[in-house]
Chain A
Amino acid sequence: MKTAAQSVLPGQSRAHEVVLSVRALAVDIRTHRGTVRAVNDVNFEARAGETLALLGESGCGKSMTAKALAGIMDPVCDLAGGEVVLNGTDLAALTPKERLKFAGPELGIVFQDALTALNPVYTVGTQLGEAFRIHRGLGAKEAKVQAIELMERVGIPEPESRVNSYPHQFSGGMRQRILIAMAVALNPRLLIADEPTTALDVTVQAQIMQLLRKLREEGQMAVVLITHDLAVVAEEADSVAVMYAGNVVECGPVSEVFSDPRHPYTKGLLESVPVHVGRGARLLSIAGSPPELHDIPAGCVYQSRCPLVQDICRSERPQLLPVTDRPVNDRPVDDRPVDLQDDADDYAGALLSRPGRAAACHFSEEINNV
C-alpha cells in the first residue's frame, strides 16, 4: 500500500524543455475605489516534466496569475500587459476564438473546490467527454468510451458503472480525480493546479499528489502548482516562485530557495512554520499583515513588515535580479550542487552559478544576518 516516490525518467526527448514562459505579466482589477494592480511584472518559466510552485498567502495574486494564464479572468479584471508564451505562441495576443482552439487542448486547469467546479446537473461522463466532443469532434458514444478510459487512468474504481453518476454522488477525493481527469483529457502540455488538495484530508491529499506526479511523468507535462503550503512545495515542486502583494519576490530551485532564502519574506515564511523550534517555543512570526491592493507603497512591497528596511526600500522598488553568488567555501558542503560536492577542492573559492535563482530585494546579500 505504500508507493515509493517516483523519479523523473531521464533521457526523454521533451523533458525539461521550456513549455510555458510568462514575461512581465500584469493584471488590473477595476473596483469602485479605482483600478488596482493585482499582478505586477510576474516572470517565470515552466518546464516539461517538472513542477513549478507559485507560493504565497491569500491575496498575493497567485490565483489571479493562474486565471490570467488560462484566460478565465473575471469580467472586472484586465490583462494589463505581458506575454504568456505556451509552446511558442503568445496566448495574450490571441483572440478568444483562436485561444480556445489553441489553448484548449494544450492547457489544463484543476481548481481547488471540485464540487463548485463540476456542473451538478450533468453526469460526470458527459462532462469528461466534453473535451473530446469539442476538440476531437467525437460523437456522444465515442466520447463516453474515452471518458471511461480517463476515469480508469485517474484511479476511479468501476468506471463503467460510475460514468453515469452525478458529481454529488462522489466523495471529495473522487471529485478531485474527476476534475484532474477533465484537465488531462487531451494530454495537455501544461497543467495548472490551483490549490488542488487544500479542501482534502491529508491521506486523500497524499493520493491526489501521487496521481498528479504519475500523470506528470506519463505525459511529460509541465505543472504549475499554486499553493500556500510550504510543505507541499518542499515535497512536490522542482522550482518555486514566491509571490507577495502581486509581485514575485524570489524564485529558484526549491531546495536552494528553502535552504538559503534571499528575500526577507521567504525567510520569514520559513521561520513561521512550527517545525524548526521545540514544542511550545516561540515562533518567529512576520509582524503586521500584507498591504491592501489599494495602497501598495512606492518602493518595495514588503517594506512595512521587513526587518531590514532602509530608506532606499521606501523610494525604489527592487527588481527581480539574479542573486549574487557566494564563494563555495562560505557554504557547507551538503549545500553545494551535487556535481561540485565530490571534487570540492578543485572548486574551492570558485563562484557558484545559480541558474534560475533570483530575488527582488535591495539587501538580498544580507538576509542571513536578519
Chain B
Amino acid sequence: MSEPLLQVDGLCKTFHVAKSARGNTRLKALDGINLTVGRGETLGLVGESGCGKSTLARTLMMLETPDEGTVTFEGTNPFGLRGKELLSWRRRVQMVFQDPFASLNARMNAGDIVSEPWATHRNLYPSSREREARVRELLHMVGLRPSDARKSPQEFSGGQRQRLGIARALALNPDVIILDEPVSALDLSVQAQILNLLNDLQQELGVSYIFISHDLTVVRHVADRVAVMYLGRIIETGATEEVFDHPRHPYTAALMSASPKLDVTGVKRDRIVLQGELPSPLDPPSGCRFRTRCWKAQDICAEVAPEPRVTAAPDGGLRLAECHFPLETVKGLTGATATAG
C-alpha cells in the first residue's frame, strides 16, 4: 500500500439525545476511530446497524463535526479549513447513497442531477458547452446513453438510478468516494453490473473507495482491506483475505460465520450463533464492548477495555484486533467453532 491518502486518528463523535433507561444522554457514536485509506484503494467497512458506520461516513463528508480526533487528507486537516479552501476540499470527497429511489430529486432530469454539483463548484466547468459535454461523458462512463440526460429519475430502473448516483459523485472528479451500501437495494443480477462498473471506474480513474456494506460476500469481492466496526469502534482491521480467513476478534469470527454462504456441496456448516443483540450505544458495556455476547469473555473483559493489538500479517501488512483473548491459533472458521464449544 502506498502512503495514505486519507488518515483518521482518534475520531470521536457524541450525540446528545433524550434520556436512556439509565439516564444517559450522551450517545457515543464514534469512540476513537483510526483508519487509513490509500490512493486507489478500497476500504471495506462492515458492521451491524447502529455500530456507527454511517456516522463515520457523514463525519468524513464533513456533515458532522467530530468532538475529538483528526482527519488528515494529504497532509491537511479539512476541519480547520474555511471558504475557498474548504470548498476545494469538499470537491475531493463524494458520496453514493444506499437508496437510489430516495437520493435523486424526482423534479430534476438526469442531466440536471449530474450537473448540479457544478452549481456550487462553479469554476470547474465554467462554460455551458463544457458542462453539457461533461454530462454526456459522465453518463457514458456509467453506462447510460447521452440521450438519457433528458429523462427524469422515475423513468429509470433501480440499477440505472444507482448509475446516475455514481455519475453525480464523479462529476467533481473526487479522490475518495464513500459508497454507503451502494448495492444493497438492488437485485442480485443488477448488483453484479454495478460492482463491475465500480471496479472499472476505479481502474480507470484511480479513485479510492470507502465501501460500507453489511453484505460480507460483496465486501470480500471489492475490498483491499477491511475494517470491522462494533459499537463505535473499529475492533479489527487487516487485508481482506486475512480478516475473512483468519479472524482474530471473536466478533469478526461470529460475523463471518453468521453470514449465509452459497455452498452448493450441501454440507451444513457448524455456525457460531451469537446470543443477544447489539447493546444500546447509549449504555455500552464496561471494558470490552463485545463482552456481553462473547463466548470467551472473562472477568478482565468487564474491567479493562482491550488495547488494540497490532500484529504483522504473513503478507507484510498490519493486522489490528482489540481483544484480550484474540483467536491466535485459529485456522479459519472451523477452528473458531471448536474454540467456541
Contact = CB atoms under 8 A, between A and B. Distances in A.
Contact of B196 (A5, A268, A282): A282
A12 B96 CA distance: 53
Given A203-B255, A289-B157, A210 B273 contact: yes
B260 interface: yes
B41 to A, nearest CB: 11
Contacts of B216: 202
B340 interface: yes
Contacts of A206: 257-258, 271, 273-274
A364 interface: no
Contacts of A286: 189, 192
B271 A2 contact: yes
Contacts of B262: 230-231, 234, 258, 270, 273, 275
Interface residues of A, number: 52
Given A235-B261, A279-B221, A57 B272 contact: no
Nearest to B240: A279
A274 interface: yes
Interface string B251-272: 0001101111111111011111
Which of A4, A229, A274, A283 has the most chain B CB atoms closer than 10 A to its own CB?
A: A274
A275 B48 contact: no
Contacts of B337: 2
Nearest to B193: A285
Interface string A104-140: 0000000000000000000000000000000000000
A207 interface: yes
B261 A201 contact: no
Given A206-B258, A234-B262, A277 B271 contact: no
A232 interface: yes
A259 B264 contact: yes
B258 A203 contact: yes
Contacts of B241: 279
A271 B270 CA distance: 25
Nearest to A289: B157
Interface string B329-341: 0000000010011
Given A204-B277, A274-B220, A277-B221, A2 B214 contact: no
A352 interface: no
A201 B214 contact: yes
A172 B278 CA distance: 11
Contacts of B278: 201
A202 B221 contact: no
B188 A230 contact: yes
A161 interface: no
Nearest to A230: B262
B105 interface: no
B190 to A, nearest CB: 7
Contacts of A209: 260
A82 B271 CA distance: 40
A171 B277 contact: yes
Query: By CB atoms of chain A within 10 A, which of B217, B261, B262 has the most?
Result: B262
Given A2-B340, A235-B260, A289-B159, A274 B221 contact: yes
Contacts of A210: 273
B217 A274 contact: yes
A86 B44 CA distance: 47
A235 B262 CA distance: 7
Contact of A280 (B221, B266, B274, B295): B221
Contact of A269 (B188, B255, B275): B188
Nearest to A273: B262
B195 interface: yes
Interface string A250-271: 0000110011000000001111
Contact of B189 (A203, A235, A254, A268): A268
A205 interface: yes
A284 interface: yes
A146 interface: no
B199 interface: yes
A1 B261 contact: no
A286 B188 CA distance: 9
A284 B195 CA distance: 10
A228 B190 CA distance: 13
Interface in A43-59: 57-58
A167 interface: no
Given A203-B255, A273-B217, A5 B270 contact: yes
A61 interface: no
B49 interface: yes
Interface string B53-93: 00000000000000000000000000000000000000000
A13 interface: no
Nearest to B272: A2
B264 A1 contact: no
7 contacts: A1-B274, A2-B340, A3-B273, A201-B48, A210-B273, A234-B261, A280-B199
Q: Which 5 A-B pairs have the closest CB atoms?
A: A274-B221, A285-B192, A231-B260, A255-B266, A286-B189
Given A3-B273, A203-B277, 14 more contacts: A2-B295, A2-B341, A58-B187, A201-B278, A203-B274, A236-B260, A274-B220, A275-B261, A279-B223, A283-B195, A283-B221, A285-B190, A285-B196, A289-B159
